[in-house]
Amino acid sequence: MASSNTGFSTAQKGICITLAAQPHTECTLQEPLDFEGVGLHSGAPVRMRLIPAAAGSGIVFRRTDLDNFEIPANGRNVARVSYATSLMRQGVLISTTEHLLSAFIGHSVDNVIVELDNLEVPILDGSALPYVEAFLRTGLKPQRRRREYLRILKPVEVTENSKDGTKFIGIYPGTGYQIDYRIHFSAPIGTSRFLGDLDTGAYADLIAPARTFGFREDEPMLRNMGLIRGATDACAILIGAGKIQNGPLRFDDEFVRHKVLDLIGDLALAGRRIQGRVVAERAGHAMHTALVSRLMKDRSAWDLAHVYDDESQEQTEPAHAAFTRTAHA
């Protein structure tokens, strides 16, 4: 299990976890950061540079191999969302954005230009940890513009029935950035729940290291679809014959933590950090981004705030509830 020096409890009965303490001004990177790897699905080699950007510019992807064509990271540009979240504008694609966007939200990075020389963000180790470690090494640069938060004013929900059960995601008014996420898989994953408030604290220790995962029996189908061409046991947890094939896990509930990591990255496409409560069960990229789309279309469901409210008129849980888990049920 990944260690934490934050002082939060990691006892079996629960985990207290929060995102990095939030200044209320925007931040960018102190200096450019370079990454190199392959795309999880394309298998294509890619070089990526994260460049500090002006206040108010948000996260913008730039394809250096296509005359510096730019795609802002927002819900209007969401494209393919089956096994990864991708952006598209005028036929130009940026694939598998969720881990990087999650790291930006988790570490309070507001404004960055993301330069890529290919179509897919590198998978690295399958988590957001390499990004967060780089941010911690170089530091962030505070900017003078006040940060805006997307404050949820009324419930917005998405439901889908499937052969595996009802899939659900909803967002509700609340303080901080609360997440309640449940997953249901066959052994060895089982049923897990991650519950808590992401307002102030330990994303780097307790969410960022959680890696993506996949099942050996799905590999032929996915490769025939042109997917997971860059997948190896160095960038994903592999499950086959009812067991984990490349342990040890970084957390005993790493699977649901990775789902939370993905959720944070996908909801970043709302364009601002959320203030509210998110509840999800059996959800995934398609459900996450469908929620963003439905939320953005209903202007009465949210407004913009410069600080987090101390209280919410429809709060139903304490703002700093401990994360709890029910793993391998």
What residues are labeled active site? Answer: 285
| Cα(271)–Cα(274) distance, integer angstroms | 9
| Cα(179)–Cα(185) distance, integer angstroms | 20
| 248 cis-preceded (ω within 30 degrees of 0) | yes
The answer to whether 94 and 87 are in contact (CB under 8 A) is: yes
The answer to whether 230 and 126 are in contact (CB under 8 A) is: no
DSSP state string for 1-58? -----S-----TT-B---PPP--SEEEEESS-EEEEEEBTTT--EEEEEEEE--TT--
SS3 198: coil
